[in-house]
C-alpha cells in the first residue's frame, strides 16, 4: 500500500539519497550525512512556501519516491494557475514497478485540487522512454526547454 504525503525534515536524507542515485545526480549531489547546508536551507525554503509541495511516496514506512510540485500563478489564460512537476525520483530497488505512474497521477490530482488549468514538466530530449511515459499520461510535448547556467 503506497501512500503519498508532504515531505518532513526527517525525510531529507532519504530524498537526497534518491537525487544522488541517478547518472546525473551522482556527479552533482552529495548524500553524505550530516547533509550539506544547501539541502537543509532549500528544504526550509520549500517547506515555508505555500506554492511549493515537496512530497514523498511511502510504502510500509519506507520512503520509496519523491517529487516536487510548484503551483504557478500567472496572468496568461485569464489568470489560470499552472502546476509544474520536477525532481521526480523512485528508489532504485523499486523502479519499473509502476510507482512513477502512481506518483504522477497523485501529483496531477494535487494540481487539479489546487485549481490548476495545466500541468507542465520538462525532460531530457534524448529520453525516448520518458517521452512515451509522459504521452501515456496525456501530456503533449510541443515545447523546447532551454537552460542557462549562471
- Mask: binding to a second copy, 98-137, rule CB under 8 A, as x and -? ----------x--xx---xxxxxxxxxx-----x--xx-x
When asked if residue 10 is in the footprint of a second copy (CB under 8 A), the reply is no
When asked if residue 139 is in the footprint of a second copy (CB under 8 A), the reply is yes
- Mask: binding to a second copy, 44-73, rule CB under 8 A, as x and -? -xx--x-xx-x-------------x-x-xx
- In degrees and rounded to multiples of 5, residue 96 shows phi and psi of 65, 20
Q: Please, are residues 67 and 5 in contact by the beta-carbon 8 Å criterion? A: no
Q: Which of 26, 27, 31 is nearest to 15 (CA)?
A: 31
Q: How far apart are CA 9 and CA 15, in angstroms?
A: 10
Work out the angle at residue 118's Cα, subtended by the Cα atoms of residues 116 and 56, and round it to the nearest 5 degrees.
70
Q: Out of 87, 95, 97, 101, point to the residue binding a second copy (CB under 8 A).
A: 87
CB 146, min distance to a second copy, A:
4
CB 34, min distance to a second copy, A:
13
When asked if residue 21 is in the footprint of a second copy (CB under 8 A), the reply is no
Q: Please, are residues 12 and 43 in contact by the beta-carbon 8 Å criterion? A: yes
Amino acid at each position: 500500500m503506497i501512500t503519498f504525503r508532504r515531505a518532513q525534515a526527517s525525510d531529507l536524507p532519504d530524498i537526497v539519497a534518491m537525487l544522488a542515485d541517478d547518472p546525473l545526480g551522482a556527479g552533482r549531489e552529495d548524500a553524505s550525512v550530516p547533509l550539506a547546508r544547501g539541502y537543509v536551507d532549500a528544504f526550509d525554503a520549500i517547506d515555508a512556501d505555500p506554492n511549493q509541495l515537496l512530497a514523498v511516496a511511502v510504502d510500509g514506512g519506507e520512503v520509496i519516491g519523491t517529487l516536487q510540485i510548484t503551483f504557478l500563478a500567472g496572468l496568461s489564460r485569464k489568470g489560470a494557475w499552472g502546476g509544474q512537476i520536477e525532481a521526480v525520483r523512485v528508489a532504485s530497488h523499486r523502479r519499473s514497478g509502476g510507482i512513477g505512474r502512481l506518483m504522477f497521477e497523485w501529483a496531477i490530482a494535487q494540481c487539479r485540487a489546487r485549481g490548476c488549468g495545466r500541468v507542465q514538466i520538462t525532460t531530457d530530449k534524448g529520453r525516448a522512454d520518458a517521452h512515451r511515459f509522459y504521452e501515456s499520461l496525456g501530456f503533449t510535448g510541443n515545447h523546447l526547454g532551454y537552460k542557462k547556467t549562471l
